[in-house]
Amino acid sequence: MQAQIQTLKPQWSISGAGGSVEPTPFKVYTQRDLDRIAPLARLSEEARFEMRVVSSVLPFRVNQYVIDELIDWDNIPADPVYQLTFPQRGMLAPAHYDRVAELLRSGASKEELARVVDEVRHELNPHPADQMEMNMPRDDEGHRLDGIQHKYRETVLFFPSQGQTCHAYCTFCFRWAQFVGDKELRMASSEAAVLHNYLRTHPEVTDVLFTGGDPMVMKTAHLKSYIEPLLAPEFDHIRTIRIGTKALSFWPHRFVSAEDADGLIELLERVVESGKQLAIMAHYNHWKELDTEVAQAAIRRLRGTGAMIRAQGPLIAHINDDPAVWARLWQKEVELGIVPYYMFVERDTGARNYFEVPLVRAWEIYREAIQQVSGLARTVRGPSMSASPGKVEVQGVAEIAGEKVFVLRFIQGRNPDWVQRPFFAKYDEKATWLNHLKPAFGEEKWFWEDEYAAIREAKLQAAAAA
Ligand code: SF4
C-alpha cells in the first residue's frame, strides 16, 4: 500500500517573515504504511510489532510534516508529539493487547481478526457521555438527525461528513470511533440542508460549531456550502460560527499553501464582514506545535481574517502532564495572539488508562501552570470534564466543616440553571472522572441528579420509540 501523496500548489509565501513556504506535498501514512516510515527503522522489531497490534484496534494516521518537523527522533519514545501520534503498547489493556497480538502472530484470518478487534473496540466505550442517545436531535417524525448534536440550548454541533477525518490522529482521541471505519459508530451528515433546516426552526441557537474530525480537511468548496448560507438574514440569530480544528498544528499548510487556501481565507473574511463572530477553536497539546515557522504563518494568516483563535486541549499523561509545559504553551499562545481557553480532562474512552491523570493532579498542574503566566494567559478554564450532564470544572480542593472536598461547578449544563452553582465532591485522590466522585457532606445525590435522570430517561425513550 503506497502512502497517499497529494501535491499542494503554493499560493502564498511568508515574505518578510524570514523565508517563504515551499510547496509541500501532503504525504500521509496509515497502519498499512508503518514499514515505510523511515525513522521507525530505528525501533526494535518487537516495538514495531507492538505498534501493529495497537493500531489494529485504535486508529493511526500521521503525515510527513508531523514526522519531520514536530517529533524529535532522538527523544523517542518520550517525545510528546511521538506519544501524541504513534501507538504505544500501554495504550491497550494487557488482556486486549494479548488477544490481538496472538491473532497477528498466528496469522489468523482477516475475518477472525476483525471480529476480535470489533469486540475490543466495543469494550473501549466508543461513544462517551451518551453522545448517540442523548445529544442527537430528532425530526417531527422521531428520525435521528445524523450529524447534528444539540446538547446545550444555545450551541449546535455539526459534523460534516467530508470533515470526519484529521490530518493526523491523536492517540488519545475521544472521537476515535469515527475513524475506524465502523459505520455503526459514525455520526455525520453530508446534508447542508439538514443543518440549515434545523437552525431555521431553532431561534434559541446562537452558536454553531463545525467539528469532526477536523472540518479543515474539507475542500473550501464544501466548507462554503455549509457556512455561506448562514450569512443570509434568516440566520441572524446565529451570532457565532466556530470551527474546531487541529490543522494549525498537524497541517498548517492548509492555511498558507494549499490549493484552495486563498478561497478559505476569503470565506472566513466574509463571515467576519457579515458581522458574525468567527471563532477558530484550535486544538493544541504542547508548545512544540507552535514552534515551526509555517505554524506561526498560518496563525498570522488566520488572525488576518478577523477570526479569534481560542486554544483548547486535554491534559494527557506522557504528553503534557507537567505545569512547565502548560505555562510555556499558554504564554506562547498569548504571544501569537491566541486566547487560552480550555484545559480538558482526558475523556473516559479509548486508551484512557494510558493517558488519564487523577483529577487532583490535573488541578495541581493547572494551578502551578497558571501561577507562572501573566494575566492575559489566565483566561483558560481549569480541568474540565465534558460529561453527559454537562461540562464540569474542577475548581479546587478545600476543607469545609472538617471535610476535604473537591469544589466543582458546571460551565455548561443540560439545564442552564445548573451553571455556576458550586457543588462539592468527597476528596478522592484516585478519581479521574466525574463518575468516580461521590457527593460530599453525607449527601446521597448530586443537586442535579434527579433532573438529569429524568432528561436522560426522556431521551432514551424517544430513541427507543423511533
Ligand atoms: S484532532 Fe481532535 S478529532 Fe482529530 S484525532 Fe485529534 S483529538 Fe481526534
- What pLDDT sits at residue 10? 39
Half-sphere CA count of 117, side-chain side, radius 13 A: 22
**Distance from CA of residue 374 to its chain's centroid?**
26
Does residue 150's CB lie within 6 angstroms of at least one atom of ligand 1? no
Nearest Cα residue to atom 5 of ligand 1: 169
Intervals of the chain under pLDDT 70: 1-23, 129-133, 182-190, 466
Q: What is the pLDDT of residue 129?
A: 62
- The model's pTM is 0.92
pLDDT at 307: 98
13, 17, 39, 95, 421 from 2: Cα distances, Å: 30, 35, 17, 32, 54
C-alpha 150 chain-centroid distance: 17
Cα separation, 254 vs 248, in Å, equals 8
313 lines ligand 1 (CB under 6 A): no
Ligand 1 atom, smallest distance to 168 CA: 5
Out of 70, 214, 312, mutate this one to test ligand 1's pocket (max ligand atoms within 8 Å of CB): namely 214
Cell of 430: 484516585
Please tell me the residue having the least CA distance from ligand 1 atom 1. 246
Pairing type for strands 61-63 and 25-30 reads: antiparallel
Digit-coded pLDDT (tens) for 13-37: 443 343 455 568 899 999 999 999 9
User: Which atom in ligand 1 lies closest to the alpha carbon of residue 283?
Assistant: 1
Instruction: Give 389-398's long-range contacts (Cβ < 8 A, gap of 24+).
Output: 389/413, 389/414, 389/418, 389/434, 389/448, 389/452, 390/152, 390/414, 390/418, 390/419, 392/434, 394/345, 394/359, 394/362, 394/363, 395/422, 396/363, 396/367, 397/360, 397/363, 397/427
Q: What is the pLDDT of residues 337-357, one digit of tens each?
A: 999 999 999 988 888 899 999
Task: Please work out whether the CB of residue 282 comes within 6 Å of at least one atom of ligand 1.
Answer: no
Report which protein residue has its CA nearest ligand 1's atom 7. 173
Query: Does the C-beta of 212 come closer than 6 Å to ligand 1?
Result: yes
Among candidates 155, 292, 169, 297, which has minimal Cα distance to 237? 155
Q: Hey, what amino acid is at 371?
A: Q
Q: Which three cell numbers stand for residue 302?
A: 488566520
pLDDT at residue 164, rounded to an integer: 87
Cis peptide before 252 (omega within 30 of 0): no
pLDDT score at 191: 82
- CB atoms closer than 10 angstroms to residue 187: 21
246 lines ligand 1 (CB under 6 A): yes
**Cβ of 157: how many Cβ atoms within 10 Å?**
22
3-state SS record for the chain:
CCCEEEECCCCCCCCCCCCCCCCCEEEEEEHHHHHHCHHHHHCCHHHHHHHHHHHHHCCCEEEHHHHHHHCCHHHCCCCHHHHHHCCCHHHCCHHHHHHHHHHHHCCCCHHHHHHHHHHHHHCCCCCHHHHHHHHCCECCCCCECCCEEEEECCEEEECEHHHCCCCCCCCCCCCHHHHCCCHHHCCCECCHHHHHHHHHCCCCCCEEEECCCCHHHCCHHHHHHHHHHHHCHHHCCCCEEEEEECHHHHCCHHHHCCCCHHHHHHHHHHHHHCCCEEEEEEECCCHHHHCCHHHHHHHHHHHCCCCEEEEEEEECCCCCCCHHHHHHHHHHHHHCCCEEEEEEECCCCCCHHHHCCCHHHHHHHHHHHHCCCCHHHCCCEEEEEECCCEEEEEEEEEEECCEEEEEEEEEEECCHHHECCCEEEECCCCCCCHHHCCECCCCCCCCCHHHHHHHHHHHHHHHHHC
